[in-house]
Chains A and B, each alone.
Chain A
Amino acid sequence: MKSFLQKLPFLGQCIALSFLLCVFAWLSLFTWSIIPISGTQALSALTSPNPNNIAHRIILDLRLPRVLIAGTVGACLAVAGAIMQGLTRNPLASPSVLGVNAGAALGMATVSTVAPWLGVFGTSVAAIIGGAITWSLVMILGTAWRGGNEHGRLVLAGVAISALCAALTKAMIMLYEDQAVGVMTWLAGSVADARWSDWQPLWPMALFGLSAAFLVGPTLNLLNLGEDSARSLGVKLGLVRMICSVLVLILVGAALSAAGAIAFVGLLVPHIARALTGQDYRKILPLTAIMGATLVVLADVVSRAIIFPMETPAGAIIALIGAPFFIYMVRSKTS
Chain B
Amino acid sequence: MSLSTHNLSVGYHDHVIVKQVNLNIPEGKIIALLGPNGCGKSTLLKSLARILKPMSGEVRWQDNNLHTLPANFLAKNLALLPQTQPIPEGISVRDLVAYGRSPYTGFWGRLNAEDKRIIQQVMQETEIIKLADQWVSELSGGQRQRVWLAMTLAQDTPYLLLDEPTTYMDLSHQVELMHLLRKLNLQGKTIITVLHDINQAARYCDHLIVMKQGQIITQGSPESVLTKAMLKDVFALDAQIYQDPIAKTPMCVVE
Interface of A toward B, CB cutoff 8 Å: 89, 215, 218, 221-222, 224-226, 228-229, 231-236, 274, 278-280, 282
Complex interface residues of chain B between 70 and 91 (CB less than 8 A to chain A): 71-72, 74-76, 78-80, 82, 85-86, 88-91
Query: Closest residue of chain B to A236, judged by CB?
Result: B71
Chain A hits for B72, CB < 8 A: 234
Asked if B50 is at the interface of the complex by the 8 Å CB criterion, the answer is: yes
Asked if B214 is at the interface of the complex by the 8 Å CB criterion, the answer is: no
| Residue from the set A215, A228, A235 with the largest chain B CB neighbour count within 10 Å | A228
Q: Does A222 contact B102, Cβ atoms closer than 8 Å? A: yes
User: Measured between C-beta atoms, what is the minimum distance from B53 to chain A in Å?
Assistant: 11
> In the complex, A232→B159 CA distance in Å?
12
Which of A224, A232, A236, A278 contacts B80, CB < 8 Å?
A: A232
Interface residues on B, range: 20 to 34
Which of B78, B79, B86, B109 contacts A225, CB < 8 Å?
A: B86
Which of B74, B85, B91, B109 contacts A229, CB < 8 Å?
A: B85
Asked if B168 is at the interface of the complex by the 8 Å CB criterion, the answer is: no
Q: Does A231 contact B51, Cβ atoms closer than 8 Å? A: yes
Which of A229, A234, A278, A282 contacts B103, CB < 8 Å?
A: A234
Q: Show 24 A/B contacts (Cβ-Cβ < 8 Å), sorted by A.
A: A215-B107, A218-B107, A218-B108, A218-B109, A221-B109, A222-B102, A225-B88, A225-B99, A228-B51, A228-B82, A229-B85, A231-B71, A232-B75, A232-B79, A233-B102, A233-B103, A234-B71, A234-B72, A234-B76, A234-B103, A274-B90, A278-B90, A279-B89, A282-B109
Q: Does A234 contact B102, Cβ atoms closer than 8 Å? A: yes
Asked if B164 is at the interface of the complex by the 8 Å CB criterion, the answer is: no
Chain B hits for A228, CB < 8 A: 46, 49, 51, 80, 82
Asked if B40 is at the interface of the complex by the 8 Å CB criterion, the answer is: no
Query: Closest residue of chain A to B98, judged by CB?
Result: A221
Q: Does A218 contact B86, Cβ atoms closer than 8 Å? A: no
Asked if B206 is at the interface of the complex by the 8 Å CB criterion, the answer is: no
Chain B hits for A280, CB < 8 A: 95
> In the complex, A38→B91 CA distance in Å?
47
Asked if B165 is at the interface of the complex by the 8 Å CB criterion, the answer is: no
Q: Does B86 contact A224, Cβ atoms closer than 8 Å? A: yes
Q: Does B109 contact A89, Cβ atoms closer than 8 Å? A: no
Chain B hits for A231, CB < 8 A: 50-51, 71
